[in-house]
Amino acid sequence: MKGILLHGGHGTRLRPLTHTGPKQLLPIANKPMSEYCIESMKDAGVTEIAIIIGGIGSNKVREYYGDGEKFDVKITYVKQDKPLGISHAINLCRSFIGDDKFLVFLGDNIIQKNIGDFANDFLKSDDDASLLLCEVDNPSRFGIADMHEGKITKIMEKPKDPPTNFAVTGIYFLTPKIFDIIDNLKPSWRNELEITDALQILLSENNKISYHIITDYWKDTGTPEDIINANRAILENKESYFYGEKSDESLITGTVLIGKGTKILANSKIEGPAILGENCIIDNVSIGPNTSIGNNSKLENCIVKNSIIMEDCKINCPIKIVKSIISNNSQITLENSDYENKIFLLGEGTKIIL
């Protein structure tokens, strides 16, 4: 079985984080969110993956994943010039897929369940498609599946009055039969070829669509709040390690992951779950819980909670940073702020000096 990973789009709800690169490369627990997707695909036995790229920072995707060798997969890149929908992106991979069954993964989906069993079930079945569903609190934000007596009866995109709260996750098991349907698909009101429309036509033509309901964690990371929540969920399932240096006056509690070359200096406190990358300097800082600090970052005289600070950042100020995402190469220097709560959403290379 082959795989398709969608890595395009503009990520408008995540600006300014996405002004310089795709949202799927934003880190969760110090690893790009799309890397979790590749790991899930590998768990399903998929080692040949087409990555759909397009929009800002496509070159960054190629630079990070290369030919896939360091991730134990083989990667082919397919360019989508305009964001014309998931079905359009899938159709670009027709020659790559050939006659194989395949797995489609949206690159901003985080799932904490091995999907290998689902993949095996699909390969052994005569299903024309298989969907992973998850109960959500806000079903009008998602494609929704209506069901009756254990069968999917209707699939609809972001209904105003959802008949169920079972969202269609961005994980689809498909057969080449879907290509013929996409060929005759009409664009939606937003000028996109919708995957929900293609699946509904597949269903209406009496093809067989099975489903599994995910009860483990699943998140479509479309907003900053989603990313921070996903960061917390991933960190909660990590195991501690320590490859850095720690002064006797510092304190570490809970599940904490410390990379090589990182120094925890005097009067610092790290409360897990938290992860600190390599070659960081932490001096008179309180970090955590639910916090990620990227490689080569230097933090002094601050408090950071429930936040993501990416690589090569410098923060030296008496403030309390909460529910924030701070992109690579950002700097914050404030005076006389007296540890006031601050919420930041900073794009790459931002400098704040007050």
For 221-269, write each residue's pLDDT tens digit.
778 888 999 999 999 999 999 999 999 999 999 999 999 999 999 899 9
pLDDT band (50, 70, 90) for residue 305:
very high
Q: Which of 4-8, 39-43, 60-64, 108-112 is predicted with the least confidence, judged by mean pLDDT?
A: 108-112
Given a cut of 80, is residue 325 above it in pLDDT? yes
- Identify the CATH number of the domain in which residue 294 sits: 2.160.10.10
Beta-carbon contacts of 261 under 8 Å, excluding residues fewer than 6 positions away, are: 243, 244, 278, 279, 280
Residues found in the chain: 354
For 273-288, write each residue's pLDDT tens digit.
999 999 999 999 999 8
Last-in-domain residue among 234, 250, 270: 234
Note the pLDDT of residue 352: 83
Number of domains in the chain: 2
Note the pLDDT of residue 287: 97
112 and 168 part of one domain: yes
Beta-carbon contacts of 267 under 8 Å, excluding residues fewer than 6 positions away, are: 249, 250, 283, 284
Quick count: other Cβ atoms within 10 Å of Cβ 11? 22
Residue ranges in the chain assigned as alpha helix (H): 33-43, 58-65, 86-91, 94-97, 116-124, 177-183, 195-204, 224-236
Which pTM was predicted? 0.91
Helix and strand counts by DSSP (H, E) for the chain? 8, 33
Last-in-domain residue among 188, 205, 234: 234
The residue written with tokens 């540890």 in the block is 339
Note the pLDDT of residue 11: 57
Higher-pLDDT residue of 22 and 43 is 43
The backbone torsions φ and ψ at residue 308, rounded to the nearest 5 degrees and listed phi first, read -125, 120
144 and 170 part of one domain: yes
The backbone torsions φ and ψ at residue 213, rounded to the nearest 5 degrees and listed phi first, read -100, 125
191 and 315 part of one domain: no
Task: Output DSSP code: residue 286.
Answer: E
153 and 32 part of one domain: yes
In a 13 Å sphere around the CA of 170, the CA atoms on its Cβ side amount to 24
195 and 57 part of one domain: yes
- Identify the CATH number of the domain in which residue 150 sits: 3.90.550.10
36 and 53 part of one domain: yes
- The two three-digit tokens of residue 229, written as one number: 């929540």
For 2-31, write each residue's pLDDT tens digit.
999 999 765 566 777 776 778 889 999 999
76 and 201 part of one domain: yes
61 and 103 part of one domain: yes
**Over pLDDT 70: what percentage of the chain?**
96
Last-in-domain residue among 188, 217, 234: 234
**Over pLDDT 90: what percentage of the chain?**
64
Asked if 354 contacts 336 with a C-beta cutoff of 8 angstroms, the reply is no
26 and 119 part of one domain: yes
pLDDT band (50, 70, 90) for residue 344:
confident
Asked if 288 contacts 250 with a C-beta cutoff of 8 angstroms, the reply is no
Asked if 52 contacts 92 with a C-beta cutoff of 8 angstroms, the reply is yes
- The two three-digit tokens of residue 311, written as one number: 């690589």
131 and 17 part of one domain: yes
Given a cut of 90, is residue 112 above it in pLDDT? no
Note the pLDDT of residue 337: 63
Q: Average per-residue pLDDT in the chain?
A: 90
Domain enclosing residue 340, as ranges:
239-353
Note the pLDDT of residue 312: 96
Quick count: other Cβ atoms within 10 Å of Cβ 22? 26
Note the pLDDT of residue 292: 97
The rounded distance, in Å, linking the Cα atoms of 36 and 257 is 18
250 and 210 part of one domain: no
Note the pLDDT of residue 336: 64
290 and 170 part of one domain: no
